[in-house]
Amino acid sequence: MNLQDKLNTTPILFHDGCRVCLDIAETLAGTMPVLEIVDLGRHPELAARAAAHGVAALPCLVIGGKVLPISPHSTLADIGAPGH
């Protein structure tokens, strides 16, 4: 499996770090042991990575190259904004 295949098959949860997102991350991590979790609230510099995957709303699961919003309540544009 090459790197691109791995990137397309490893599920990634992008979220903003709020309590709801942390609960979702915890629940998904318990059922998806290979899940990569990216907290954009703690690492806003990774927002470009989320955008490259097509993420616009958070939280969002990217799996198999597909973007699946999960209870979206913030936007990628909010990341790094004052008060967020």
Tens-place pLDDT, residues 6-57 = 556 799 999 999 999 999 999 999 999 899 999 999 999 999 999 999 999 9
Strand partners, 60: 14, 69
- pTM equals 0.84
Half-sphere exposure for 28 (CA within 13 Å, toward CB): 22
Give the whole-angstrom CA distance, residue 28 versus residue 46. 20
The confidence band for 67, taking pLDDT boundaries of 50, 70 and 90, is very high
d(Cα 16, Cα 78) in Å, to the nearest integer?
A: 9
Say how far apart CA 68 and CA 83 lie, in whole Å.
26
